[in-house]
Structure formats: C-alpha cells, structure tokens
Amino acid sequence: MTAVLCRLFGLKHIETAEDIASETFLKATEVWSVQGIPENPTAWLYTVAKNKTKDYLKHVSIFETQVKQALYTGETAQRPDFDFTPQTISDSQLAMIFAVCNPANAAESQICLALQILCGFSVEEIADAFLSKNETIKKRLLRARANLRADNFQIGQLQETTIKERLDTVLRTLYLLFNEGYFSKSGNHLIRKELCSEAIRLTLVLTENPLTNTSNANALLALMCFQSSRLDARATNEGETILYEQQDKNLWSKELIQQGNYYLVNACTGNEASKYHLEAGIAYWHTTPAAANKWNHILQLYNQLILIEYSPMTALNRTFAFARVYGHPAGIKEAEKLGLHHNSHYHSLLGYLYAVTDKEKAAAHYREAIHLTKSAAEKKTLMREIERLGR
C-alpha cells in the first residue's frame, strides 16, 4: 500500500504514504471488530486508502504547494486516477524494493531502510539482525530516509541499469528478513511465520518479473521454500524448538519441498554459484532425511560457503555438520577453535555436543547460552535440555 501511494506522491512524501497506510489498517481494526472481516478484505483496505488519500489531497496544503504540479505533469500526467489494480500493486512493490536500496546509502543502511519500510521491522528487530545498538540503527535510518527523500527515483517501470546496481542489496535484505522469521532473535516467539511468508512473497515478486528473475533470486526463493517446509515441525505449540532429529517428518510440507526443487532447478541454469545456491543446497539435503552420505554433502557445501562469506552462524552450522560426519569429540575440538564465547549459539552447540560424554559441561554451556540469548522461546528450549540431562 505504501508503495502504491508513493507512486502517486513520490518518495519525498513517503511519510505521508506510510501514515495513510497506518490509518487504513487502524480503520480496519475498528470496523472489522464490530462488523466482521469483509468478503474481500484486500479490496476493502485499498478502497479506504483511496478515500483517505482523496481527503488528504483536499484538505492538506501540501497538495497545492508540492503535489498538485507533479500530479498532472511528467510521468503522473498519464495516470491522475488512483490505480489499485493487481498489476500496479505488483509493479509498485517491485519498484519500491529497488527504491529503498539507494546507492547513496551504505549497504547496511539500505538494508535497514528496506527492513523498516517494506517489511515493518521495528528498530529493535533491525538492531538484533545487525547485532547493533538501537541508537545506532535510529541514526542510520534517519540518514537513509533523508537520502531516500532526496533521490529522484520514480516508483514506476524499472530500468535494467537500476536493477544491476541494486539487486544484490535487495536479495540480501530479503534474506535477512527471512532469517529473522525463521529464527527470531527478538520477541517471545522463536519462529515468526508471518515474516517468512512476507520474505517469500517479496522474493516471488522478483521471480515473476523478467528483469529480476535471475539465478540468484531463484536460489534464494528455493532456500526459503526448503526452510519453510519444516516450519510446522520445528516448534511445539508453546513455541519451544524441536531439534532436527526429533521432528515429525509427516509435518514437513511436501508442496513447499517440491516448490524448492522447482526454483533450485531454475537457479542452476548458468555457471553462477552464490551463497544462496550453496545454502539452498544445504537446505535441500535437510529435506531428504534418508539420503546416503547426507551429512557429507552438507559439510562439503558448508566448506564452500564459509569461503564465500564467513559468519559466526555459518561456522557453527558447519561445526554441527562436521560433528555428524566425524563424531561429537571431533566436533567439540572444531567448535572450541571458533572461540565464540559471547555467542549463545556457540554454547548451545557445545551443550549438545557434550551431552553424551560430559553432562556437567553440557549443562554449564546450556546455562551460559540462556544467559546470553535474548529470545524467551530459546531460553525455554535450553532449560528443557538441562532438565533432560538431570542437571
């Protein structure tokens, strides 16, 4: 909705578009709680947004001083009417994704801005995603929004040069969004399916446009499908994690696994092998529990991934795969080489690896992980593991 309204107002008035979108959903909560959800809620929302926009243009002076001239000249001269058709909505969303990834901003600032405007992340959630302080993110967003308003980017038909300049940042943004949903570091829920769904929806927008239907976009979408296929099996109704080996395979979505296979095949049409290809390959093997030498394949992919882009989480996941191939004692030695003493996942991994041979050490690492994590759901899961150890 914000994207479509920015098509009308321009990015200089993005706050106005966001305000109208917020007011529209506030109106929905007021009316629907009394009258019930309408037969076509999407149409209802866009109708309300359209009416609120008309009221705004009538009563606020900015219409006369800044918007009116632009509304009837240049690109908008051909579409003075409010156009909320599915094609316009899709095109506007795609253009907005690229608009917020402004090269005038640093890469991290682009991602922060996109997470806030496109995905509705709070400052705290963005800070968690970047392991930064809230104040740092607030300052970064203020500067990024100022550059966005000063940009002459048009919410309309995308140019190929723009896509080449900004696609990498767009993909990274959607990747971060999905990861926050798949393993939330904020709030009380370990898994936030709505964020995973939003990431898939926005990535689908990319694959449905010929200019953005790239190998990397398909690889990222394959990764999301494979990971999402196991969401229902990853947590209890109380929000506690169910370890991979303990998951009910009947709850895995065969449809999403098939979709993942489809997009992974599409991603392998060229010679490119990005981090998204490698992570999609790892996720693929996780959906094939009976495959021979599965963990060997996964470890080989992690070995390649860590060379492309090192991160503490990649290193820890690789160590888990290493332990599955070479045994827990070898895995412990490999994990301790990382020295990630202030990382909760590091201690939870060591707790898991020590659980068979040294329950005291395992419990100590689990307690340290509890101390370090912000996630209430993760704390519950770790407490459950300590109870299983009898410690």
Q: What is the pLDDT of residue 8?
A: 79
- Residue 125 DSSP class: H
Asked if residue 82 lies in contact with residue 8, where contact means CB atoms within 8 angstroms, the answer is: yes
d(CA 213, CA 310): 27
Look at residue 195 in the predicted model and tell me its pLDDT.
Answer: 79
Sites in the chain below the pLDDT cut of 50? 75-80
User: Phi/psi at 61 (nearest 5 deg)?
Assistant: -65, -20
CB within 8 Å of 376: residues ≥ 6 apart: 187, 188
Report the pLDDT value the prediction gives residue 342, as an integer from 0 to 100: 94
Backbone φ/ψ region at 131: left (φ over 0), alpha (ψ -120 to 50), beta: left
How many whole angstroms separate alpha carbon 190 and alpha carbon 256?
21
Q: Cα–Cα–Cα angle for 303, 304, 305, nearest 5°? A: 95
3-class SS of residue 132: coil
Tokens linked to 79:
């579409």
pLDDT at site 82: 61
Residue 78, pLDDT score: 44
Residue in the structure block whose two tokens are 């296979």 = 261
pLDDT of amino acid 45: 94
CA distance 322 to 244: 16
**Angle at 222 (CA atoms; ends 217, 223), nearest 5 degrees:** 100
Which residues are CB-neighbours of 42 under 8 A, at least 6 positions away?
none
Residue 29's Cα: distance from chain center in Å? 26
310: left (phi over 0), alpha (psi -120 to 50) or beta: beta
Residue 386: count other Cβ atoms within 10 Å of its Cβ.
19
pLDDT of residue 324: 95
pLDDT of residue 77: 42
Distances (CA, A) of 39 to 30, 31, 45: 17, 14, 12
Structure tokens at 314: 């990649």
